[in-house]
Structure 1
Amino acid sequence: MHTLLPFLLAMIAAIVLLNMWAAKLKIAYPILLVVAGLLVSFIPGLPAVKINPDLIFLIFLPPLLFAAAWSVSFKEMKKWWRIISSFAFLVVFFTAFSVALVTSYFIPGFTMALGFLLGGIVSPPDAVSTGAITRFVKIPRSTSAVLEGESLLNDASSLIIFGFALVAVNTGQFIWYEATLSFLWMVIGGVGIGLLLGWVFVQAHKRLPTDPPSDIALTLIEPYLLYWIAEQVHSSGVLAVVSGGLFMSGRRLIFLNSASRIKGYSVWESFVFILNGIVFLIIGLELPEIVEGLRSKGIPLSTAIGYGLLVTGVLVAARILSSYAALVATLVFRPGALPRASSRRRQLLMPLLLGWTGMRGVVSLAAALAIPVAMDNGTAFPQRNLILFITFVAILLTLVVQGLTLPYFLTRSRSLNGIFDDEAEEAVRQKMKQGLKQHVYQFIKGKYDQEQIDNAAGLEKFMKHWEEKAKAADDSWMNERTKAIFFEVLEIQRQYLSELNKDPSVDEEIIRQQLYQIDLEEERLKIM
Structure 2
Amino acid sequence: MMQIPPWPPEPYILALTGVGLLIALVAWLPLALKKLPLSLPIICIAIGLILGRYAPTPTVPLPSEYPGFVERFTELVVIIALMGAGLKIDRVFSWKRWAITWRLLGPTMLLTIASVTVIGIYLLHLPLPLAILLGGVMAPTDPVLAADVQVGPPKSGEEDEVRFGLTSEAGLNDGLAFPFIHLAVALAAVGTTGAPWVGQWFLHNVLWEIAAGVGIGWLVGWLFGWITFHIPADSKLAQTGDGVIAIAATLITYGVCEMAQCYGFLGVFIAALVIRHAHRSHAFQREMHDFTEQIERIAMMAGLVLFGGALISGVLAPLGWREALAAAMILLIVRPAAGMLGLIGFRAHKSEKVTLAFFGIRGVGSFYYMAYGLNHMEAGHQNGLWALLSLVVLISILMHGLTVTPVMRSLDRFHGRNPDGAAG
Shorter-chain TM-score bucket reads: 0.7 to 0.9
Q: Which of 314, 319, 334 is 2:335 aligned to?
A: 319
Give the alignment of 1:157-168 within 5 angstroms: 157-168=176-187
Distance 1:111 1:134, change over 3 A: same
Tell me which residue corresponds to 1:13: 21
Tell me which residue corresponds to 1:400: 398
Give the alignment of 1:238-277 within 5 angstroms: 238-252=265-279, 258=283, 260-261=284-285, 263-277=287-301
Q: Does residue 258 of structure 2 align to residue 235 of structure 1? A: no
Distance 1:154 1:264, change over 3 A: closer
Larger radius of gyration, structure 1 or 2?
1
Q: Which of 214, 219, 228 is 1:191 aligned to?
A: 214
Distance, in Å, in 1 between the alignment partners of 2:287 and 2:404 is 34
Q: 1:286 Cα shift? A: 3.7
Q: 1:425 Cα shift? A: 5.9
Q: Does residue 55 of structure 2 align to residue 41 of structure 1? A: no
Distance 1:6 1:83, change over 3 A: same
Q: Which of 101, 104, 128 is 1:87 aligned to?
A: 104
SS in 2 for 1:161: helix
Code of the residue aligned with 1:168 in structure 2: it is L
Q: Does residue 89 of structure 2 align to residue 69 of structure 1? A: no
SS in 1 for 2:92: helix
Distance 1:158 1:15, change over 3 A: farther
Distance, in Å, in 2 between the alignment partners of 1:229 and 1:186 is 12
> Greater RCO between the two (CA within 8 Å, min separation 6)?
2
Distance, in Å, in 1 between the alignment partners of 2:300 and 2:213 is 24
Distance, in Å, in 1 between the alignment partners of 2:14 and 2:96 is 48
Q: 1:284 Cα shift? A: 2.7
Tell me which residue corresponds to 2:3: none
Tell me which residue corresponds to 2:363: 361
Tell me which residue corresponds to 1:492: none
SS in 1 for 2:141: coil
Distance 1:218 1:402, change over 3 A: closer
Tell me which residue corresponds to 1:490: none
Distance, in Å, in 2 between the alignment partners of 1:128 and 1:285 is 19
Tell me which residue corresponds to 1:150: 169
Q: 1:189 Cα shift? A: 0.7
Where in structure 1 are there 5+ consecutive unaligned residues?
Answer: 295-299, 331-337, 342-346, 419-423, 432-528
Distance 1:171 1:13, change over 3 A: farther
Give the alignment of 1:39-438 within 5 angstroms: 39-43=50-54, 45-47=57-59, 52-56=69-73, 58-75=75-92, 80-108=97-125, 110-132=126-148, 141-172=160-191, 175-182=197-204, 183-205=206-228, 206-207=230-231, 208=235, 210=237, 215-252=242-279, 258=283, 260-261=284-285, 263-287=287-311, 291=315, 301-303=318-320, 306-328=322-344, 330=345, 338-339=346-347, 341=349, 347=350, 349-373=351-375, 381-408=379-406, 417=414
SS in 2 for 1:73: coil
The question of whether the paired residues in 1 share the 8 Å contact of 2:115 and 2:334 is answered with yes
The question of whether the paired residues in 2 share the 8 Å contact of 1:194 and 1:226 is answered with yes
How many residues align? The count is 391
Give the structure with the larger helix fraction: 1
Distance, in Å, in 2 between the alignment partners of 1:157 and 1:252 is 27
SS in 1 for 2:220: helix
Distance, in Å, in 2 between the alignment partners of 1:99 and 1:121 is 9
The question of whether the paired residues in 2 share the 8 Å contact of 1:139 and 1:416 is answered with no
SS in 1 for 2:54: coil
Distance, in Å, in 2 between the alignment partners of 1:170 and 1:42 is 40
The question of whether the paired residues in 2 share the 8 Å contact of 1:283 and 1:365 is answered with no
Tell me which residue corresponds to 2:6: none
Task: String of CA shifts for 1:321-370, please: whole Å, max 9, x gaps.
Answer: 22332344x2xxxxxxx3254xxxxx3x5433322111212212333344
Distance 1:133 1:369, change over 3 A: same
SS in 2 for 1:52: helix
Distance, in Å, in 2 between the alignment partners of 1:176 and 1:8 is 51
Identity %: 19
Distance, in Å, in 1 between the alignment partners of 2:310 and 2:16 is 15
Question: CA RMSD for the aligned pairs?
Answer: 3.7
Distance 1:314 1:52, change over 3 A: closer
Task: String of CA shifts for 1:251-292, please: whole Å, max 9, x gaps.
Answer: 1459xx75x44544442231121122122223233446663x
Moved more, 87-96 or 319-328: 319-328
The question of whether the paired residues in 1 share the 8 Å contact of 2:255 and 2:264 is answered with yes
Q: 1:215 Cα shift? A: 4.7
Distance 1:214 1:220, change over 3 A: farther
Distance, in Å, in 1 between the alignment partners of 2:79 and 2:103 is 24
TM-score normalised over the length of structure 1: 0.64
Q: 1:394 Cα shift? A: 0.5
Q: Does residue 39 of structure 2 align to residue 28 of structure 1? A: yes
Distance, in Å, in 2 between the alignment partners of 1:171 and 1:12 is 49
Q: 1:102 Cα shift? A: 1.0
Where in structure 2 are there 5+ consecutive unaligned residues?
Answer: 1-9
SS in 1 for 2:261: coil
Distance, in Å, in 2 between the alignment partners of 1:64 and 1:200 is 21
